[in-house]
Structure 1
Amino acid sequence: MKKESTTQYLNIASAIIERSYQIKTHLDYFVWLQNSVAELIPHDMLLAVWGDFRQQQDGQLHYDAASNLKGLTTPAIIDATDKVSHILNDLYRLRLISGNDCFAINALEETEIYHRIKSTFPEQLVEISSLLVYGMKDERNGDECLYIFFSKEHALDVRKQMMDFIMPHVDHVLRKIKPLMQFDGIEKADDVLSLSTLSEREIEVISWIKAGKTNQEIGMILSISQNTVKSHLKRIFQKLNIGRRAQAVALLANVPSTKLKQLQLQQGVHAVYS
């Protein structure tokens, strides 16, 4: 890297870091990524994935998508988690095999992973041409995090030293802000349970959770297996930013049954309430 190029990038990086201290909300985070971080790392979506990559079941991985691609949101990623996990497996293995915490995949359409991405999100990611992956590990709890930049640029120039300089600040910002789906207080419970967040079946499942039914009972009522019920619960917990059934029950206590009935009627779901 030439001296003048290094100076230029350091100036941009310093400005990015200075602006990071002003971020208070997820919207601020998104604007910062697109207007500041994108000067160094051109991208259209940053997908953050953290948890235990060796155990990708039962909600072990968590997602946050900051995207300017229509229809590609955190709930959309969660809904496709079974397919997304295959992509993550590929990227995680590449990281282990290469021994690099930072690597780029350019000319993406020529790689096998491109077919997985295209089959998972055929419309949203059709113009994506490159990926930049940066990995971090939390030594306190053993969790790992992959930051995946999706870009329409045909090739991304990786400057690992610069990434090592910037990414801890990206990580810090994401840790300190609340997810878009998190809420404070009873008054925002309806927002959390919006139609854009929960699917028809998920509304049906949480209705029976509110009624105090067990997974086995819900499975019998809805004629689905207990494993399917668990899969729905995992997605519900991630979308509502909760980790346990008890938290779901507490949250639902603030939502009138009439509201759940209204949600189901709007979705075309007609469940029987006890």
Structure 2
Amino acid sequence: MDPVVILSRQEQEYLLCAIESGLRVAGPHQFFLWTQGQVQALLPHRVLVCLQFGHGGALARVECLHGTVLAPGAQQALTDLALRIARGGRLAAAIDAHEAPDGLGGEILRLGFDNVLAHGTGPTSAGGSVFLMFGLAARPTARHAYFLELLLPHLHLALGRLPVARTAVDGAPARALSARETEIIGWLRAGKSNDEVGRLLGISALTVKNHLQRIYRTLGVNNRAHALARCMDLRLLEQ
């Protein structure tokens, strides 16, 4: 039986404040201020990665929120790791990097964090969302997981209210993706790494990386997670 979590009076106040403030979130700036303000007060953390999935479990949106400057490439690495955790079914989990199995702990530590708190519905056929807090101020426990569980529906609804960004006035990219670029994006959508895509297509991982850089420029994004989300938004993978 799971232990009963009893909130202190201060925790109750923080929770109510976070819930009430979340109801008023209607735009990206408000979402950022809410997650870095009231949500932080209840669950102090360094980075929050929000993943939203569409029908069929396809990635539809990624938000990486943090109050400090990240090292170059860290945001992409974080979103990639968040996707692997979400697709791996490690949800409603408080992950201690020093104890996590299967190399997961090492990946978290290499990114400069000691822990991750993850919760959400996961990528299901009907969609869903997952929220991952990297670098909690204290070692995550079942108590922290319970707080995130209470906030989960409000995070999900607030994320769903955010407008979808477009790459141009009419929403179209600057040019159409080539057949090869579309093929590469399709494999990334399936969760393949650059090396795996290269082996599947008979090209080098460096060539895959070069294709990705062109894709990023075309879509106006700077990492693979955002590229996938933008492709889903523009329905480039449904043609």
How large is the Cα RMSD of the aligned pairs?
4.5
Q: How is 1:19-58 mapped onto 2 (pairs within 5 angstroms)?
A: 19-51=21-53
Q: CA deviation at 1:178?
A: 2.5
Identify the match of residue 179 of structure 2 among 189, 194, 215.
215
Q: CA deviation at 1:245?
A: 6.6
- TM-score w.r.t. the length of structure 1 is 0.55
Where structure 2 has 5 or more consecutive residues not aligned to the other structure, the ranges are: 184-201, 220-225
Matched, 1:136 2:126: no
Matched, 1:243 2:232: yes
- TM-score w.r.t. the length of structure 2 is 0.61
Contact 1:134 1:148 in 2 (8 A): yes
Contact 2:50 2:130 in 1 (8 A): yes
Contact 2:23 2:154 in 1 (8 A): no
Q: CA deviation at 1:30?
A: 1.3
Q: CA deviation at 1:64?
A: 1.5
Identify the match of residue 161 of structure 2 among 176, 194, 198.
176
Distance 1:215 1:166, change over 3 A: same
Quote the residue 1:18 is aligned against. Answer: 20
Matched, 1:146 2:130: yes
Distance 1:171 1:215, change over 3 A: same
Where structure 1 has 5 or more consecutive residues not aligned to the other structure, the ranges are: 96-100, 120-124, 193-205, 248-274
Matched, 1:89 2:84: yes
**Which whole-Å CA distance do the structure 1 matches of 2:167 and 2:28 have between them?**
12
Contact 2:14 2:42 in 1 (8 A): yes
Contact 1:130 1:153 in 2 (8 A): no
Instruction: Please state whether the residue corresponding to 1:147 is helix, strand or coil.
Output: strand
Q: CA deviation at 1:70?
A: 1.2
Distance 1:152 1:7, change over 3 A: closer
**Which whole-Å CA distance do the structure 1 matches of 2:138 and 2:15 have between them?**
23
Distance 1:163 1:233, change over 3 A: same
- The structure whose residues are more often helix, as a share, is 1
**Which whole-Å CA distance do the structure 1 matches of 2:92 and 2:181 have between them?**
47
Q: Which has the higher contact order (CA 8 A, sep 6+)?
A: 2
What amino acid is the match of 2:88? R
**Which whole-Å CA distance do the structure 2 matches of 1:143 and 1:14 have between them?**
27
Identity of aligned residues (%): 14
How many residues align structurally? 201
Q: CA deviation at 1:244?
A: 6.8
**Which whole-Å CA distance do the structure 2 matches of 1:242 and 1:218 have between them?**
9
Structure with the greater alpha carbon radius of gyration: 1
Distance 1:170 1:245, change over 3 A: closer
Q: How is 1:175-194 mapped onto 2 (pairs within 5 angstroms)?
A: 175-178=160-163, 181-182=165-166, 185=169
